[in-house]
Structure 1
Amino acid sequence: MFLAPMLIVLGAVALFPLGQTIWFGFTDASLNNIDAARFVGLRNYIEWLDYGNGQGEWLGLLADDRWWRAVRNTVWFAVVSVSFETLFGLIIALVLNAKFPGRAVVRTLVLVPWAIPTVVSAKMWGWMLHDQFGIINDMLIKLGLIATPIAWTASADTAMAAVMMVDIWKTTPFMALLILAGLQMIPDDIYEAARLDGINPVRVFRKVTLPLVMPALLVGVVFRGLDALRVFDIVYVLTPNTDATRTMSVYARENLFDYDKFAYGSAASTLLFLIVALITIGFIYLTRMDLEGKETD
């Protein structure tokens, strides 16, 4: 009874639109005929177009090379970004967990990138990475690391790296905050006992700190993984209409609104939902995450 209001709101703002999106993926809906959409089965996902005389080709989302490239871009972005964010977040959390003068101020400053709206961060970094006016190229040239300015977000060779760099800069504080919360739950008595026993600090980290902070770390990885697999804003602002960085969300949005292929875009959104769900469930299963707080083998 107490959960009923939350479930009703959740159904209205999440489950109902999700159900509609899945339904539109099986229709011929467009922005002009949504109400008159007809059921077409799996045509948006896969269809064999027969030209006669044994000639034909596969059409649909599952046969679209641009879609599969978007899938690869998204997975690669998620794996690299979340890996670096976890590593840097752990290092920052360990530093912030230590006692030193001005620790509260440092903690506040570390959270600034995460607090800045994503679109604002992307526009700011877009100017910093600009090939003619950006401060990044200016600094690298003065240091002698490059000879000519680099079009970081316009070149296919550097666009994905630039997007990853911005995402890592912005979201590492989120990982650090979650890991820091886990570190502060570890009793000081454990470290005091290890110090009295003369155990090497590296061994203490491997045998004590890392296992005890692992639940918080895995929760952070799951949350960040979900966000990274659904990434849209950073990519759309920094590198619009670029095959090198096009993600599943950007691909779905283009078909939904730019190309007026509403049904096709709905099918892409549905596959995005399924891919994110399968990857998340697989990660939880492989890491044996205990979401109910019970003992696991």
Structure 2
Amino acid sequence: MAAQESNDAPSENARYPGGNGSSRPSAEGPHRERGTRVRRQRVRAAWLFLTPMLIGLAVVAGWPLMRTFWFSLTDASLSSLGGAQFIGFENYLVFDNGWYGILADPLWWQSVWNTLYFTLISVSLEAVLGVIVAMVLNARFRGRTLVRAAMLIPWAIPTVVSAKIWAWMLNDQFGIINHMLLGVGLIDTPLSWTADASLSMWAVIMVDVWKATPFVALLVLAALQMLPSDCYEAARVDGISPVKVFFRVTLPLITPALLVAVIFRALDALRVFDVIYVLTSNAASTMTMSIYARQQLVEFQDVGYGSAASTLLFMIIALVTVVYLYLGRHRLGGGK
């Protein structure tokens, strides 16, 4: 009887023949299920920690943004916000024996061009000068700590204060810039840096580059401090020129940090207001989108029209940010 039971009972090898796992539960299944469960727990924990920040962001940024968009669809004025009436997209563009609205305003398109021009030139100069300054500060020399601290002074000064200081320095009557240029013989008569339409944009770009270059240099310098030294030693042994080492080794390694600095500076430049308003006020030659929106809202007290300008400013900044991040990710990902 015992022999019969032993013959009838399936052996261990019969249930798991050859150890191929045909009947044995695979260990990979529980591990995969456990890994999926852990990932779900991490995602839930991440959303739990992010929820207060998202709620605060919705209250602080989301509600004002939606309210601004709503006002852009009304005829609201600064004196009667409560009596605003819905007019649709007339603040943006409407045809009434001719095209009217912000999209048909030449001054708006001039402010858009000024903003993009200012952003392109200033951010490009800041990126190049920031890398050069960071490379210099990364070298070993006596007094490097003091020079690093002094480099941050322009960035630490409030923008309005630095703009006012530069406005005095660029004054055509008593400014020190004209005094020095006259002293070395580069100019014959004082220049109206902030009043001349052909010079005012370059004046505000110069001030912005002076103030923001330390920020770019600081981020790039942090990236340079993290670079491995073995690749530079190998390049030195092989006799590779420093210029080739910079473009083949250093620049690709600091590109992520440089992209972060550039995107932050581009966002600041696209919504620039204070430095240009202090230097040139509402001059058409330097008017940016932010100054245009402020003029409509405060001076003309047209809340609907000014809100439309602010909404378009937000959309342009969002579009530029998305395109820049996509191109940056595409480049860093090797085109995948």
For residues 59 and 252 of structure 1, do their structure 2 counterparts lie closer, same or farther at Cα, with a shift above 3 Å needed?
Answer: same
Deviation per CA, 1:55-94, whole angstroms, max 9, x where unpaired? x210000000000000000000000000000000000000
Q: Which has the larger radius of gyration?
A: 2
Determine if the alignment matches structure 1 residue 76 to structure 2 residue 127.
no
**1:127 alignment counterpart:** 168
**Counterpart in the other structure of 1:26:** 73
User: What amino acid maps onto 2:61 in structure 1?
Assistant: A
Aligned to 2:187: 146
Contact 1:215 1:289 in 2 (8 A): no
Calculate the aligned-residue CA RMSD, in Å: 1.4
Counting only pairs closer than 5 Å after superposition, residues 206-245 of structure 1 correspond to structure 2 as: 206-245=247-286
Partner of 1:52: none
Corresponding residue number in structure 1 for 2:39: none
Displacement of 1:287 after TM fit?
3.1
TM-score w.r.t. structure 2 length? 0.84
- The separation in 1 between residues aligned to 2:304 and 2:268, in whole angstroms, is 24
1:285 matched to which residue of 2? Answer: 326
- Residue type of the partner of 2:275? I
Task: Provide the TM-score with structure 1 as the length reference.
Answer: 0.94
Q: Please give the per-residue CA displacement for 1:231-259, whole angstroms capped at 9, x wherever unaligned.
A: 00001100012000000000001101110
1:257 counterpart = 2:298: yes
Query: Which residue is equivalent to 1:113?
Result: 154
Shift of 1:5: 1.7
Alignment-mate amino acid for residue 36 of structure 1: G
Partners of 2:293 and 2:282 in 1: how far apart? 12
Which runs of 5 or more structure 1 residues have no equivalent in the other structure?
A: 50-55
Map of 1:276 onto structure 2: 317
Structure 2 residue 195 is the aligned partner of structure 1 residue 189: no
Post-superposition shift, 1:278? 0.8
- Find the partner of 2:211 among 155, 167, 170: 170
Amino acid at match of 2:211: K
Match of 1:3, SS state, is: helix
Match of residue 13 from structure 1:
60
The structure where helix makes up a greater share of residues is 2
Provide the aligned length of Structure 1 versus Structure 2. Answer: 289
Tell me how far 1:289 sits from its aligned partner.
5.6
**Alpha-carbon separation, structure 2, partners of 1:296 and 1:116:** 41
Alignment of 1:43-62 (within 5 A): 43-49=90-96, 56-62=97-103
Cα distance in structure 1, aligned partners of 2:215 and 2:113: 25
Instruction: Report the Cα offset of residue 35 of structure 1.
Output: 2.1
> Matches of 1:289 and 1:172 in 2, distance apart?
26
**1:120 is aligned with what amino acid?**
V
Corresponding position: 1:161 with 2:202:
yes
Is the aligned partner of 1:36 residue 2:77?
no
Deviates more, 1:259-268 or 1:98-107: 98-107
Q: Distance in 2 between matches of 1:218 and 1:239?
A: 30
**Any unmatched runs of 5+ in structure 2?**
1-47
Contact 1:218-1:289 at 8 Å conserved across structures: no
Aligned runs of 1:88-103 on 2, under 5 Å?
Answer: 88-103=129-144
